[in-house]
Chain A
């Protein structure tokens, strides 16, 4: 169906179609209208989901973690301070490898207060054993949310997935949206068919691990994260066929085939980068865009495909103080042996306008 929705409602619609059973809701700008929408869906009985109206983000993640280990499909969403407050349980859920999908409406982190968009909150979760995807536009946010549920529950993976999309820029912007019909979504994401709690075979979930065992848990998590690369590509292809919209897996290369220079970026401003690429190409500059759709696992191998260019320009909407641009650092590490100049550009921090005449 072709319609138009703001990003928050598009994600809520995708979640509704994925038929979750337990949702945890706690307000924070700019994520709030997504959970309001889900609350109204649940109130109407579709999906047949229970809403836990928790008293904090810490409890939002904890409650859906509990529901997920008991076999329920679950979802919650947050932003910024909320994501930071949730962090302890985000790591806990990642360590236990429980299928969870969380929508992150990205936003700057205080202090000082800022409700505006950057990626500092999102990238701060990169070591939590979560798959992290990042949408470019409202359509992407809808499509990725559906894929996130399937990736998360794939038995070769079984990891929580975070779907990031830029606060206000996408959450509150209405765009054209092409949705799948419910039956197609049902066939794409069948009912979850496993759980961890079995009353006939009781176990301890998350007990103390000795030094010898802890490393085994973490090693298996590392392997699952590596395996997920192939699964993400596979599910992306399947979804491309179902939707007729090319999904590009871990990374999209836009006009990169003959490009001398490549911009690397993730999120909404990848759309601006596309326009910039077209504009520069009209002036004879051979440039392309590598859009990171997934940053955990980081698509190192895919980036190797562009190692022989003149230069890469990495856009970061977040910063590691005392180090540098976070994506830039990762791109440099991935292409360590490639001997290619990699330039780091930091911009859009705290929602600051980023464009041709940008200055601090």
Chain B
């Protein structure tokens, strides 16, 4: 479904493609809740703005999960059987709106929450968030970030919600399959997208899909599902349990200027983080991660 007929996204931005693919699966009977983010701007203003095929409910920065909770609750009275979908960035999800997301997850609200993670506050001009990776330059980490990315999908999974998944628009079939599964379920469903950002990550706008692929191939962005508490590595990411099958991290880093000028120590810390993450994945794959 063509979500936006003409829009204000930057060249190479994957957001509109991601939304199109989601709505292909979710269909017209969907209301999308959008907190302050790049998407607010991309969707345009009251006059020249997009003509979306679905309702869009704009939200203050920290309120999307709660507005969606209310919409979903009201739908029970309307018997509309509509999909309530949150489309939120990493700052909204992991920082300012985190309490509301955690609250909605704990209450197991009947909503699909999508975090499109471009790893910084891109709309305000590239400031670090708790989902900015270690080593990345942002305007508020001018000598690179030295804290690791918050493991948000795992944190949400620990709320004992029915479905958590990671996905990437570079793998469209896997992406759509995960949304199809989410749509077929009830309760709080959380899908976390790594959403490469050309101006924020400083790469050429033609490389968005390649960067998304490299994130998976280098092991930076493992694709997995946690369904009813059981961790399951997606088939695309399965080979990368074996470190030898992962592409060298440098291939991912060298295309993005945000990672330029990293010291050997910083590079070693990043590699160690990836290795430890995969050790954890190898341990928990196909088992229940929720106590």
Contacts and interface: CB of A to CB of B under 8 A. Distances in A.
Contact of B54 (A67, A89, A202): A202
A24 interface: yes
A55 interface: yes
A62 B59 contact: yes
B157 interface: no
A64 interface: yes
Interface stretch (B71-79, B87-95, B124-132, B249-257): B71-79
Contacts of A205: 55-58
Contacts of B54: 199, 202
A66 B45 contact: no
B49 A62 contact: no
Contacts of A66: 33, 57, 66-74
Contacts of A208: 40-41, 43-46, 49
B73 A62 contact: no
A210 B46 contact: yes
Contact of A64 (B29, B52, B70): B70
A63 interface: yes
Interface in B138-183: none
A68 B40 CA distance: 21
Interface residues on B, range: 35 or more
Nearest to A217: B46
Contacts, number: 154
Contacts of A206: 57-59
Interface string A321-351: 0000000000000000000000000000000
Interface of A: 21-22, 24, 50, 52-56, 58-60, 62-72, 74, 88-89, 92, 197-199, 202-210, 213
23 contacts: A21-B74, A55-B102, A58-B100, A59-B66, A59-B103, A65-B63, A66-B33, A66-B57, A66-B69, A67-B73, A69-B71, A70-B71, A70-B74, A70-B78, A72-B74, A197-B31, A197-B71, A202-B28, A202-B54, A204-B46, A207-B49, A209-B45, A210-B47
Interface of B: 28-29, 31, 33, 40-41, 43-47, 49-50, 52-60, 62-63, 65-78, 80, 82, 99-100, 102-103, 106-107
